[in-house]
Amino acid sequence: MNIVIVGQGAIGSALAARCEIQGLAYKVMGRTSTLQCIEWIAYQGERLAFLPESLEPHELKGNELIILPLKAYQILPAVTALKPYLTEQTMLLLHNGMGTQSEVEALLPDLPLALGITRMAVLKQDTQVTETGLGGSDLGWALAPANKANREQAEHLLSSILAPCQWHTQIAPLQWAKLAVNAVINPLTALHNISNGELAQPQYQAQIQALNEEIATLMQGLNIPGAQDIPSRLAQVINATAANFSSMHQDVLHGRPTEIDYINGYLLKEAERLGLALPHHLALWQKIHARQA
C-alpha cells in the first residue's frame, strides 16, 4: 500500500519527512506537478533536505492510502477533484474542526475513510519545516476497509508516520474535545491578535466561561461525553501552548481564509438542529467573517 500525501502544508510536509526517514513508499500530490524541496528540522535537531516525488490524480492505481492534511474548507474541493480517479483507495482526513466527514461520505459513500486528530507542532516558513514540539495523534475509522489485510496495513502505516498514535473505536468524543478548545482559542486569539497564553489574562475569563457553557449545553444535548471537562482541558491547552499563535490567528494576520465555518460554524449548525441558541459563538463567527471580508 503506497502513501499519497495531498498538499505541502506544514503537517503534510512533516508527514512526507517522516515517510522519507522511515523509507516508506510515498508520493505527494501538489497544486502543480512541481513540488517544493523541503528543508526538514526535527524537534531533536536532525536536518534533512529532500524533494518528494510528485503524483498526478490520474496516476492513482487503487491501492493507495491517501492522506489529506489540509484546511477543513479545502477537503471537499480536493476530494471532488480526486473522485473520478478513486476506486478502492483508503482515505484519512486530518484537519481542525468538524463537518467534512458528512461532506465526503455524501460524495464517496463506499470509500474506506479514517478520521484523525493530531497535536503535531510544526512551523512552515517557505520551504523550511520545523518540528516545534512532539504531539500525538488519535485516529478512528468512519468506514474501515472490508479487506482485513488492507485495514491492518493502513493502520500500521498511519501509526508509523503519526507516532505516537492511538486508534479508537469512537473518535467523535475526541473530535468534540478538540473542537471545544479550538472554538475558544482560535477566534479569540485571531480577533485580539494575541498568543494562546494571553487568554489566561483576567479580561478574557467572562467571555471564555460563556463560550464554555454554550458548548457544554450543546454537547449534553447531543449526548457527547466530556462536557464537564471543557474548562480544565481548555486551561491546560492555553498553558501548554502559551507561546504559540493559533492557526486562525495566523490565517487572519496573513489575510487567508479561516476554518471558522468548520469550528464555531459547525457548533451553530448542530445547535440549530436542536433548537438551541449559542449567542456568544454566533458573535465570534460573525466577527471572524467580518474580519475576513
204-240 per-position pLDDT tens digit:
999 999 999 999 999 999 999 999 999 999 999 999 9
Could you tell me the CATH number of the domain that includes residue 280? 1.10.1040.10
Kindly report the pTM of this predicted structure. 0.94
Quote the domain boundaries for residue 148.
Answer: 2-167
pLDDT tens, position by position, 80-107: 999 999 999 999 999 999 999 999 999 9
Comparing CA positions, the residue from 123, 125, 118, 93 lying closest to residue 108 is: 93
Q: What is the pLDDT of residues 52-69, one digit of tens each?
A: 999 999 999 999 999 999
Q: Provide the pLDDT for residue 128.
A: 97
Give the model's pLDDT for residue 292.
87
Q: Is the pLDDT of residue 32 over 90?
A: no
The whole-angstrom separation of Cα 38 and Cα 128 is 6
Q: Are residues 277 and 151 in the same domain?
A: no
Q: Which residues pair with 131 in a beta bridge?
A: 122
Residues 147 and 83 in one domain: yes
Residue 133 pLDDT grade (very low, low, confident, very high; cuts 50, 70, 90)? confident
Cell of 3: 502513501
Three-point CA angle 83, 86, 87, nearest 5°: 140
Among residues 167, 201, 224, the one where a domain terminates is: 167
Kindly give, in sequence order, each residue whose CB lies less than 8 Å from that of residue 179, ignoring residues fewer than 6 positions away.
97, 98, 263, 266, 267
Looking at 61, 148, 178, 287, which residue is catalytic?
178
Active site residue 178: yes
Contacts of 156 (CB under 8 A, 6+ apart): none
Residues 157, 204 share a domain:
no
| pLDDT above 90: residue 135 | no
Same domain, 206 and 132: no
